[in-house]
């Protein structure tokens, strides 16, 4: 599944992970950087590099896959093709993978624009967040991002 939205929308995938945990599922939410991990406000969050290397997160199952039922990857626009391939190969059969991020962010430093290509190809469900970022500029950018703009009222001058 693909989830798009700005910084304020990062709370949505974290809420999904918490709800899945409450149901007893093995979950993990990751970010691209240590700072991003801290901003996720989830005590069990990991960095993507730490998860894939085995230094963070739930560890591996007997078959070598990640011991997870649900994996949420925030900052997905930063995924290059090699990291994305390693990630997909690490997810067990039957587990769910959610890639989340702002499609307007810069893409990966490595080769490929995995998140943008998946959004264009639509091989899976896509959820566009309707949570606007803070302030009027954030609301405008979020409205444009989901293809909606509020109709503005004509201004009247008062002298």
The number of C-alpha atoms within 13 Å of 146 and in the hemisphere containing its C-beta is: 21
* Structure confidence at residue 103 (pLDDT): 86
Average pLDDT over residues 138-151: 65
Domain 2-145 has CATH 3.40.50.300: yes
Q: In 3D, which of 44, 104, 115, 103 has the Cα closest to residue 79?
A: 115
The lowest-confidence range among 34-43, 79-88, 93-102, 136-145 is: 136-145
pTM (2 decimals)? 0.82
Q: What is the pLDDT of residues 100-137, one digit of tens each?
A: 998 888 888 889 999 999 999 999 999 988 676 667 77
Backbone φ/ψ region at 154: left (φ over 0), alpha (ψ -120 to 50), beta: beta
Domain extents in the chain: 2-145
């Amino acid at each position: 599944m693909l989830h798009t939205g700005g910084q304020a929308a990062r709370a949505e995938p974290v809420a999904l992970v918490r709800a899945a945990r409450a149901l007893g599922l093995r979950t993990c939410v990751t970010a691209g950087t240590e700072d991003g991990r801290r901003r996720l406000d989830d005590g069990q969050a990991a960095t993507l590099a730490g998860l894939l290397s085995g230094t963070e997160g739930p560890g591996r199952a007997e078959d070598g896959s990640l011991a997870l039922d649900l994996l949420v990857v925030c900052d997905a626009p930063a995924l290059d093709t090699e990291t994305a391939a390693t990630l997909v190969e690490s997810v067990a059969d039957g587990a769910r993978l959610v890639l989340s991020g702002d499609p307007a962010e810069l893409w990966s430093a490595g080769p490929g624009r995995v998140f943008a290509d998946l959004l264009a190809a639509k091989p899976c469900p896509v959820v566009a967040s309707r949570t606007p970022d803070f302030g009027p500029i954030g609301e405008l950018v979020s409205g444009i991002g989901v293809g909606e703009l509020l109709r503005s009222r004509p201004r009247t001058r008062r002298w």
